[in-house]
């Protein structure tokens, strides 16, 4: 497995992977208009090109045999009141289901903390995860993260409760 910063040429593959992982993880009752409109407007090659070019963001991709299998997005200088020790948000960590449970997420998370350390001298990350996403919460707990607050993801007027998680110390 190779982990590297994303380049503009990765945008199509990133859009396809993001769609697949988001729908697999969150559209458990099937797909309705609000969901299809959300994923088809949020996960586009153009949005990924903008993300890759953004100076305050870093997108890391994981490749296996020249295939994209996972990616992570860091947002620098993004303070979180519930986690004052962390200045960097782990905005996305997605591993394709076929590669889940093999250490890919752990490796990417390590590389994200190191990237934050190099960028701002502080490897502490904070994140939000849907409070129904038991597997992700188990993963982050295993990595030493714990719940330190609550946030909401709003889709189609519905508020989805998220846990804010961070490691107590970096």
How many other CB atoms are found less than 10 A from the CB of residue 131? Answer: 15
**Cα dihedral across residues 41, 47, 51, 52: positive or negative:** positive
- Residues 9-38 within binding reach of ligand COA (CB under 6 A): 21, 25
Determine which residue in the list 135, 146, 152, 160 makes contact with ligand COA, applying CB under 6 A: 135
Q: Does the footprint of ligand COA cover residue 95 (CB under 6 A)?
A: yes
Determine which residue in the list 58, 139, 145, 163 makes contact with ligand COA, applying CB under 6 A: 139
Q: Does the footprint of ligand COA cover residue 93 (CB under 6 A)?
A: yes
Q: What are phi and psi of 29, to 5 degrees?
A: -105, 15
Angle between helices 45-53 and 11-26 (to 10 degrees): 110
Q: Does the footprint of ligand COA cover residue 106 (CB under 6 A)?
A: yes
Based on C-alpha coordinates, what's the Rg of the chain?
Answer: 15
Question: Which residues of the chain form contacts with ligand COA (CB under 6 A)?
Answer: 21, 25, 93-95, 100-106, 127, 129, 133, 135-136, 138-139, 142
């Amino acid at each position: 497995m190779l982990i590297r910063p994303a380049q503009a040429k990765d945008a199509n593959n990133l859009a396809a992977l993001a769609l697949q992982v988001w729908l697999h993880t969150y559209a458990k009752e099937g797909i309705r208009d609000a969901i299809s409109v959300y994923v088809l407007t949020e996960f586009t090659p153009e949005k990924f090109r903008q993300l890759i070019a953004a100076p305050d963001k870093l997108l890391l991709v994981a490749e296996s045999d020249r295939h994209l299998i996972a990616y992570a997005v860091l947002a620098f200088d993004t303070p979180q009141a519930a986690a004052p020790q962390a200045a960097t948000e782990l905005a996305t960590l997605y591993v394709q289901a076929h590669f889940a449970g093999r250490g890919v997420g752990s490796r990417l998370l390590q590389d994200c903390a190191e990237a934050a350390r190099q960028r701002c001298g502080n490897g502490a990350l904070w994140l939000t995860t849907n409070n129904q996403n038991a597997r992700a919460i188990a993963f982050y707990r295993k990595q030493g993260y714990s719940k330190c607050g609550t946030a909401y993801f709003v889709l189609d007027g519905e508020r989805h409760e998220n846990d804010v998680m961070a490691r107590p110390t970096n």
